[in-house]
Structure 1
Amino acid sequence: MFSRIIKIPIIFEVKKKAFKELDSILKANHLSYEEKILFTSQELFDLYKTYIPVETFSDVIFIKGGNVEEVESVKSKYEHHNVLLIAFGGGSIIDFVKLYSRELCLQYISVPSSLSNDAIYSPIARLTKNGKKESFGVLEPLGIIADIEIIQKSPLKMLLAGVGDLVSNLSAIKDWYLAESYDSEVLDIFSVSLSIVTAKAIFAYTREQLRSEEFVEVLTYGLVLSGLSMIIANSSRPASGAEHLMSHAIDELFPDRATLHGIQVAWAMLYIEKNIRKNDDAYESLLCFFEKIGLYAEIENDIQFSETELKRIIAKAKIMRKRFTVLNII
């Protein structure tokens, strides 16, 4: 009988006051380290100080995150290997710690302050290098600790961006099937199933439920399982298609007008369904959900491109990376 080994996080805690219980959670999982180092921003530290178990850390390093050069500037601080890194913040801070941990071969735990994307458990870090955003292959975290009370206090826009990033899996899967048909790319059905199920689970919710405990739990589970689908596939395919390429193109072509990644991929998904796939039913279904949950208002507020600019975005997206998507057949 054939089988394969799937890596899953050793720790996965989603509950109120979870961050305060960090030491207890580590002990319950038989994990012990000489030092625990907290990486976060000064702003988040000041805002959530009462939720952070400050006394358990041997050091707190304040960073901006999302920048390769910053990783290099602090890399020499911790060279020995009995150190656990704790990344407390949004995608930029978590992605910083992902790359930092890879460079020093250290373990890390993600503690999201918001749920704006699947960075909390994805094998990819998006950081700026020499002024341009790039993707880096990294190791998944040792665990995820999602403190519901902290996430409930995050801006609604961050939660909506997380919704957009998760729902965009449905577009990514369509592109993966296209790649199988047109480019003979191998499809991983288990990853496909996991990606689709987690994305569809979020459609049951409305804007009024965004700060509810149930919604935060479901969004956390969805983003983590989305990351797991990529780990299983050994590729970002289950969660990244033409919509992500268009978002990355916006970041590169119009950095001053870029918004949250999850908002951009949601916009791109709508554009692709209506104007490229020409799937009216899928477009109307997405539009209805985005309006119901409040995401469409953010899209309309943040994203406006002319026809000429759209052509540039699509042309750039086609060459962002070697990946067959619906953009290749228009």
Structure 2
Amino acid sequence: MPVLTRLIPAPVVVDIRAGALADLAGVLADQRISGSGKLAIAISGGSGRALRERLSDSLPGASWFEVGGGTLDDAVKLAEAMKSGRYDAVVGLGGGKIIDCAKFAAARVGLPLVAVATNLSHDGLCSPVATLDNDAGRGSYGVPNPIAVVIDLDIIREAPVRFVRSGIGDALSNISAVADWELAHRVNGEDIDGLAAAMARQAGEAVLRHPGDLGDDGFLQVLAEGLVLTGISMSVAGDSRPASGACHEINHAFDLLFPQRAASHGEQCGLGAAFAMHLRGAHQESVRMAGALRRHGLPVTAEEIGFSADEFVQVVEFAPRTRPGRYTILEHLNLSADGIKDAYADYVRAAGA
């Protein structure tokens, strides 16, 4: 009998709305998550303590673990601390670093992970990847998807606005990443998963086209849903391809070449995506993306994040080395330094910067 469908790894609960945190105990009591109430909850030492005070009475069976930072060592220590607890599940309550540490630790001890995000800085909150700093710089580690995702829009609004801006740039970059994937399919015959590509692209397009701003619940809802869908698209594809192309190569190059000066993940990805769209000849789409970035307060040029044009040329020239084997518009064009410089000058003029 032919296979008529396929199973898609996805959370059993996704709760994105204002006030969602008030119902967290009910979500965690789901028999698929924790029948006994024995939970290991990872938090930061700062804002995490305030959340613990707010939630501890409703979660009497929980043990709370403060995570030092976003390093591999922190994640390993968290896993070791949880080993003897006989927990049903791990809860990562915080920003990206806390959730990534909790993801890795949960995978290490074989427990499901519930992601409770307190900011929307990037698309990793529901992805099958934990990004952690290590002795060599930064590594990406494969982990299971979260079994549940909870995002309280009231909490999101309390976070510094730079986190939301970063998430916007990361979501918009999906559009360029999928275009790179399609390019690799046309030129090299690389397999492309149409469902994963559609999910990632529509997540980015929804953010691009939404008329709201950073203080608008409707916009935050679309952004949060888009970031969750992007994470699921990576699980569907079995790879980060739906959300990572030239945009992320440029981001990684900024981080590696200028680790002390690099901007936020989403700022660099958004700039990289708008420039990559220009490189591929999608000039109207590039201008539209640059306009959306500017409207939400994100940078459109390298100079706006403190880099000269020559430094940006250096970044773009180095970018393909950050992901050997990945084919994007950068590898396709293989521009010289002078070619990159000319293309960047054209992009800046087109973007009206």
TM (norm. structure 1) is: 0.91
Aligned counterpart, 1:232: 236
| 1:210 partner SS | coil
Tell me, yes or no, if structure 1 residue 119 matches structure 2 residue 121. no
Instruction: Provide the C-alpha distance between the structure 2 equivalents of 1:288 and 1:139, rounded to a whole number of angstroms.
Output: 36
Match for 2:266: what amino acid? G
Q: Is the CA contact 1:65–1:95 (under 8 Å) kept in the aligned structure 2?
A: no
Aligned partner (choices 39, 42, 47) of residue 45 of structure 2: 42
Q: 1:153 offset after TM fit, Å? A: 1.1
Q: Is the CA contact 2:40–2:87 (under 8 Å) kept in the aligned structure 1?
A: no
Aligned counterpart, 2:339: none
Aligned counterpart, 2:72: 68
Aligned counterpart, 2:349: none
Q: 1:180 offset after TM fit, Å? A: 0.6
Please give the per-residue CA displacement for 1:177-211, whole angstroms capped at 9, x wherever unaligned. Answer: 111122210111111111111111112345x6312
Give unpaired runs (5+ residues) of structure 2: 335-353
Aligned counterpart, 1:291: 294
Aligned counterpart, 1:265: 269
Moved more, 262-271 or 285-294: 285-294
Aligned counterpart, 1:165: 170
Match for 1:23: what amino acid? A
Q: Given the superposition, is the C-alpha separation of residues 75 and 29 from structure 1 closer, same or farther in structure 2, using an over 3 Å criterion?
A: closer
Match for 1:202: what amino acid? V
| 1:42 partner SS | coil
Instruction: Provide the C-alpha distance between the structure 1 equivalents of 2:76 and 2:196, rounded to a whole number of angstroms.
Output: 34
Aligned counterpart, 1:109: 114
Instruction: Provide the C-alpha distance between the structure 2 equivalents of 1:50 and 1:214, rounded to a whole number of angstroms.
Output: 29
Aligned counterpart, 2:24: 22
| 1:86 partner SS | strand
Aligned counterpart, 2:252: 248
Aligned counterpart, 1:12: 14
Instruction: Provide the C-alpha distance between the structure 1 equivalents of 2:246 and 2:123, rounded to a whole number of angstroms.
Output: 17
Moved more, 74-83 or 109-118: 74-83
Q: 1:300 offset after TM fit, Å? A: 5.5
Moved more, 235-244 or 278-287: 278-287
Aligned partner (choices 122, 142, 151) of residue 146 of structure 1: 151
Instruction: Provide the C-alpha distance between the structure 2 equivalents of 1:200 and 1:157, rounded to a whole number of angstroms.
Output: 21
Match for 1:103: what amino acid? R
Q: Is the CA contact 1:188–1:233 (under 8 Å) kept in the aligned structure 2?
A: yes
**Aligned length, in residue pairs:** 327
Instruction: Provide the C-alpha distance between the structure 2 equivalents of 1:42 and 1:299, rounded to a whole number of angstroms.
Output: 34
Match for 1:158: what amino acid? F
Tell me, yes or no, if structure 1 residue 177 matches structure 2 residue 194. no
Q: Is the CA contact 1:102–1:139 (under 8 Å) kept in the aligned structure 2?
A: yes
Q: Given the superposition, is the C-alpha separation of residues 86 and 76 from structure 1 closer, same or farther in structure 2, using an over 3 Å criterion?
A: same
Match for 2:260: what amino acid? D
Match for 1:97: what amino acid? A
Give unpaired runs (5+ residues) of structure 1: none
Match for 1:180: what amino acid? H
Instruction: Provide the C-alpha distance between the structure 2 equivalents of 1:193 and 1:215, rounded to a whole number of angstroms.
Output: 20
Q: Is the CA contact 1:263–1:298 (under 8 Å) kept in the aligned structure 2?
A: no
Instruction: Provide the C-alpha distance between the structure 2 equivalents of 1:229 and 1:26, rounded to a whole number of angstroms.
Output: 24
Q: 1:273 offset after TM fit, Å? A: 2.7
Instruction: Provide the C-alpha distance between the structure 1 equivalents of 2:153 and 2:71, rounded to a whole number of angstroms.
Output: 28
Q: Is the CA contact 2:119–2:156 (under 8 Å) kept in the aligned structure 1?
A: yes
Q: Is the CA contact 1:12–1:144 (under 8 Å) kept in the aligned structure 2?
A: yes
Q: Given the superposition, is the C-alpha separation of residues 54 and 317 from structure 1 closer, same or farther in structure 2, using an over 3 Å criterion?
A: farther
Q: 1:229 offset after TM fit, Å? A: 1.1
How does 1:73-88 map onto structure 2 within 5 Å? 73-80=77-84, 81-88=86-93
Q: Is the CA contact 2:67–2:78 (under 8 Å) kept in the aligned structure 1?
A: no
Provide the aligned C-alpha RMSD in A: 2.2
